[in-house]
Amino acid sequence: MKPKKKKNTKTLKGRYSMRSILKATVASLGLLSLATTGALADAHGEKLTGTLKISSDMSNPAPRAVMEGMVERFGEMHPDLDIELTVTDREAWKTQIRNVLSANPPDVANWYAANRMRPYVDAGLFMDISDVWEDESMEALASTKGAMTLDGKQWGVPYTYYQWGVYYRKDIYEELGLEEPKTFEEMKANCQKILDAGKKCYTIGTKFLWTAGGWFDYLNMRTNGYQFHADLMAGKHDWDSPEVRQTFANWRELLDMGAFIDNHTSYSWQESLPFLVSGDAAAILKGNFAVAPLREAGLDDDKLDFYQFPAIDEDIELAEDAPTDTFHIPAGAENPEAAKAFLRFVVSADNQTLINNGDNLGQLPVNANSSVDDDKFLKEGFEMLSSNSPGGVAQFFDRDAPAEMAKVGMEGLQEFMVKPDNLDKILARLDKAAKRIYDK
């Protein structure tokens, strides 16, 4: 999305200092026994003081409330700690983080896992927090450890992740007598029937490119498997290869059918949702974050359902996209002790259960000891990721590939969706870019 100039800054400092003053007063009055405060401090092992500066990109209403809630609860546990929270618009943060980390580093900052961390790790702007990961309690986070690891060290902690898959109009499928597809053939057969009924199979908005990356991720992981996909993203395979061409050939079958809505280059993903709501399109390939706006638009659980992207080659193990959002400690943090304590607090099982439930983020907890909220999509997603994704879990096109490659790549994918005949030119361009980007 276009970087907006909007910046929301909110400081909770005053409130917390006020609270600590209050506590001090209360204690001095003798109304609260010293033992209670002592027990509180003991429970958390250490007494944190000073200021903890947090820069967050959780600016959408629900995530913002989650962030503020976490700060409040962490502040209650550590009454002597001043917490300053700065919330920046999520899209704007993607361009601002560079300046913030190098000029005025906070103690804790939001970012994304995998290769998206690479520029800041290489520039020495993120702190190596492998010692946090050595805690016994961190074993519950084993599934996401790989995504937080670069060069054999861990550079942050995850706080949430979510599944990708096909969200479809259950009522339309029932009306046309369709079943959730298990194979690519069934998927295409379903699509043909939907097209015959005068609807489009999939809505998509490629104005900001990345949505096309989701389609490529799935088609490529289903056609060539997780390992090939990961290697391609890491620059170990050529784009102009028979494997990648096969992926595009599969994609082309859908394009030639006219499976996607027209004019998708004009829409953002939000603008592509009305087609699903109105029933002009029957499904969307998207992350679980699409559920909230779709529900708000009136699609209840009888109308909206979810299925895993079907297999294309039966010999290839299913693998999924499950992007992970993270917290990091900048290298220039002034209060790393408090920052580490905050990170431990974020990933703790109770906090994970709380912040990821349907009333809050509505996503999946990263801690294995947490419980998943009783929500149809979350349960299905959790089930899929924990038991039906033997191939592996990828982050996402623009998080697995280096940023520059992702940009050139997704632009090529968008062009392919509009002009599939340009494939040769596109692949040549991607290889040329890859040569420059990975050879560095």
Partner 1 sequence: MTNPVAVPQTTAERPRSWYKRNEIALTPWLFLIPGVLFFLVYVIFPIFQSISISFTEWDGLGQAEPVGLENYRELFDDDAFYTSLRNNIIWLFLYLLAIPAGLFIALFLNQTVFGIRLYKSLFFFPFVISQVVVGLVFSWFYDPTFGLFNEIIGWFGLGPVNVLGDERYVTYGIIAAGIWPQTAYCMILYLTGLNAVDPEQVEAARLDGAKGWRMLWYVIIPQLKPATFIAFVVTIIGALRSFDLISIMTNGGPFGESRVLSFYMFEVALSEYGFRMGYGAAIAVILFLIMMIFITYFLWSMYREERGR
User: Which C-beta is closer to partner 1: that of 111 or that of 228?
Assistant: 111
**8 A C-beta contact, residue 373 and residue 357:** yes
Can residue 13 be called a binding residue for partner 1 (CB under 8 A)? Answer: no
CA angle 172, 177, 178 (to 5 degrees): 75
Fill in the per-residue mask, 371 to 410: x = in contact with partner 1 (CB under 8 A), - = not in contact. ---------------------------x----xx-xx---
> For residues 154 and 327, is the Cβ–Cβ distance under 8 A?
no
Of the candidate spans 21-29, 66-74, 120-128, 318-326, the one that interacts with partner 1 by CB under 8 A turns out to be: 120-128
The only residue of 29, 45, 61, 95 in contact with partner 1, by rule CB under 8 A: 95
Contact between 240 and partner 1 (CB under 8 A)? Answer: no
Q: Return the structure tokens found at 373.
A: 């909220």
Both structure tokens of 201: 């199979």
Minimum distance of partner 1 from residue 2's CB (angstroms): 5
- Packing angle between helix 423-438 and helix 242-257, nearest 10 degrees? 140
State yes or no: residue 439 binds partner 1 (CB under 8 A): no
Count of chain residues binding partner 1 (CB under 8 A): 33
Q: Any contact of residue 414 with partner 1 (CB under 8 A)?
A: yes
> Looking at 27-35, 88-96, 233-241, 320-328, which segment touches partner 1 (CB under 8 A)?
88-96
Give me the least distance between CB of 95 and partner 1, in Å please: 6
Report the 10 Å Cβ neighbour count for 116. Answer: 23
Q: Which residues pair with 161 in a beta bridge?
A: 324, 364
Cα 287 to its chain centre, rounded Å, is 8
Can residue 436 be called a binding residue for partner 1 (CB under 8 A)? yes
Among 44, 73, 295, 429, binds partner 1 (CB under 8 A): 429
Q: Residue 118 and residue 150: Cα distance in Å, rounded?
A: 8
Look up residue 406 and give its two tokens. 């992702």
- Is residue 418 within the footprint of partner 1 (CB under 8 A)? yes
Q: How many CB atoms lie within 10 A of CB 130?
A: 13
Residue length, the chain? 440
Print the binding letters for residues 151-190 with partner 1: x by CB under 8 A, - otherwise: ----------------------------------------
Strands (E), 33-163: 50-56, 81-87, 108-112, 149-150, 153-154, 157-161
Smallest CA-to-CA distance from 381 within 404, 400, 413, 356 is with: 356
CA gap 184, 221 in Å, rounded? 13
Stretch that binds partner 1, among 53-61, 91-99, 192-200, 349-357 (CB under 8 A): 91-99
Q: x/- string (CB under 8 A) for partner 1, residues 194-223?
A: ------------xxxx--------------
Structure tokens at 368: 């294995």
**Closest distance of CB 28 from partner 1, Å:** 49
Q: How far is the CB of 403 from partner 1 (least distance, A)?
A: 4
Find how far residue 309's CA is from the centre of its chain: 18
- Least separation in angstroms between residue 264's CB and partner 1 is 7
Residue selected from 119, 336, 358, 420 as contacting partner 1 according to rule CB under 8 A: 119
Which stretch, 137-145, 183-191, 359-367, 414-422, contacts partner 1 (CB under 8 A)?
414-422
Specify burial of residue 306 (Cβ count, 10 A radius: 0-12, 13-18, 19+). Answer: buried
- Residue 100 and residue 93: Cα distance in Å, rounded? 9
Question: Which residue among 262, 302, 314, 439 contacts partner 1 (CB under 8 A)?
Answer: 262
Interface with partner 1 (CB under 8 A): 2-3, 91, 94-95, 98, 102, 119-120, 122-123, 125, 206-209, 262-266, 398, 403-404, 406-407, 411-412, 414-415, 418, 429, 436
